[in-house]
Structure 1
């Protein structure tokens, strides 16, 4: 992606991800418990990336290339069983498709599309609420008090990202959410950091604050 960003010269980039890639992404997210955003998979358009083949099976793209005599390069990583995605592709998805009578990749891709729509509906009010209660490394809890859990946890996840927690996992977001909804004087929650210091979230009165603690 870094190479593509450097070479695209402000133009959009079309990627070759297929419906099968989408199904694998959803299944990986499901197995890892990564939440709705991960299960929503890849989008057809997320600037500057376009994925016009998400509705097309991998076998169709290969057949089309063969029919049109288009050269194809196979990434050797796609055949290396050391990678979880490769084992999903070669072992798990075919087994699921057999056990459930077919159509599993299509069903997983439909799930992604539905979750994208659900996520869009929740992201807008979450962004508005975040703008109302976030002041840099401080989060005012009063506006969050009546928010639905699905909106509140989105606010917390996006706030954590904004203060340096690269991609807070479910357990971290849940622990920070407990500071909001189940406050009983618990200690700080570690949310990330680097080799020199860790980031921790603490509650003080009606606010959450982030600070760096030397390791």
Structure 2
């Protein structure tokens, strides 16, 4: 447990010693070890347990983990039942992830949320990005802080969290889906990485994670530059939410794509991939009166005169309220504190 405690405390001190933290807890070794480490910082820790209701007995697993969280010293443990709807065509794995993050964000009450991702997850994320032909943001993997998400364990291996739980006799739930090869990440974990290690003749997870970190540093710097360009462009806006194009037309295409990606993110749209960004960029660089660009989920980008406009599929307020379906009447109905 020493390695986990040290990693969590280092993250906590690096990020201003927040007095209150949330931990996303599943009942697995990574999140249980993280919970124990978070409590040892001295912060008030609330465990958030999302029940996806996709497996029989999932509610029982969640409530058992909530009791473990209280025994570990959490001031509160909240079980959050959700209903998964794949309305955006993400597949059940992607839809579950979107709904899980929406639930955590809704229930965190302004507090940082710690996630149990390890160096192994970082390596898997890089390989998944390569398999999908994704851009640098996907292969960059994960940051230790992506407001409001904190990842203190990115420097540790999955074996470290299992060892920590075994050392303190913490009962760990082994999700059967983590052995289901129907999930791409499971195939990468149990088939691709072992094969790559056999080919290379050594441990590859640290090397893959290091590559992800280097790409992350470059991506963050380029995003910072793109953000400056976007802010300067928006200063020319008349206040109606449009993106003026005068200063964007001569940008290099990779820079323009980053600016457009950040602009879409500012409107709450995070699903547009390379193909969609290319089409939106053509509204800037190759404008000849083409129609609006349909984005995943139904949002639209259109050009009118010398500006781009983002048209959401539903009003922002409705979008926030429909992001997830809670399995209880209101937040307090889900509370499982002392």
User: In structure 2, what is the Cα distance between the partners aligned to 1:63 and 1:106?
Assistant: 18
Match of 1:176 among 280, 289, 292: 280
Query: 2:290 — aligned with what?
Result: 187
Structure 1 position 41, deviation (Å): 1.2
Show structure 2 runs of 5+ residues with no match. 1-100, 314-338
Query: 1:21 — aligned with what?
Result: 121
User: In structure 1, what is the Cα distance between the partners aligned to 2:243 and 2:262?
Assistant: 11
Matched-pair contact (CA < 8 Å) for 1:14–1:52: yes
Matched-pair contact (CA < 8 Å) for 1:166–1:192: no
Query: 1:151 — aligned with what?
Result: 255
User: In structure 2, what is the Cα distance between the partners aligned to 1:83 and 1:172?
Assistant: 25
User: In structure 2, what is the Cα distance between the partners aligned to 1:115 and 1:108?
Assistant: 11
Structure 1 position 109, deviation (Å): 0.8
Match of 1:167 among 261, 265, 271: 271
Structure 1 position 18, deviation (Å): 0.9
- Is 2:224 the counterpart of 1:124? yes
Matched-pair contact (CA < 8 Å) for 2:144–2:154: yes
SS in 2 for 1:160: helix
TM-score normalized with structure 1 length: 0.83
Higher mean C-alpha displacement, 146-155 vs 32-41: 146-155
Structure 1 position 212, deviation (Å): 7.3
Query: 1:36 — aligned with what?
Result: 136
SS in 1 for 2:143: coil
Match of 1:199 among 285, 288, 300: 300
Show structure 1 runs of 5+ residues with no match. none
Higher mean C-alpha displacement, 9-18 vs 153-162: 9-18
Structure 1 position 23, deviation (Å): 0.7
Matched-pair contact (CA < 8 Å) for 1:20–1:105: yes
User: In structure 2, what is the Cα distance between the partners aligned to 1:149 and 1:94?
Assistant: 38
SS in 1 for 2:295: strand
Match of 1:115 among 215, 219, 226: 215
Matched-pair contact (CA < 8 Å) for 1:41–1:112: yes
Query: 2:83 — aligned with what?
Result: none
Matched-pair contact (CA < 8 Å) for 2:118–2:154: yes
Structure 1 position 151, deviation (Å): 2.5
Structure 1 position 127, deviation (Å): 1.2
Matched-pair contact (CA < 8 Å) for 1:11–1:48: yes
What is the CA deviation profile of residues 7-27 of structure 1, one whole-angstrom value per residue up to 9, with x for unaligned ones? 545443332211111111111
After superposition, the CA RMSD in angstroms is: 2.6
What is the CA deviation profile of residues 81-131 of structure 1, one whole-angstrom value per residue up to 9, with x for unaligned ones? 221111111111111121122232112211221122112211222112112
Query: 2:246 — aligned with what?
Result: 142
TM-score normalized with structure 2 length: 0.55
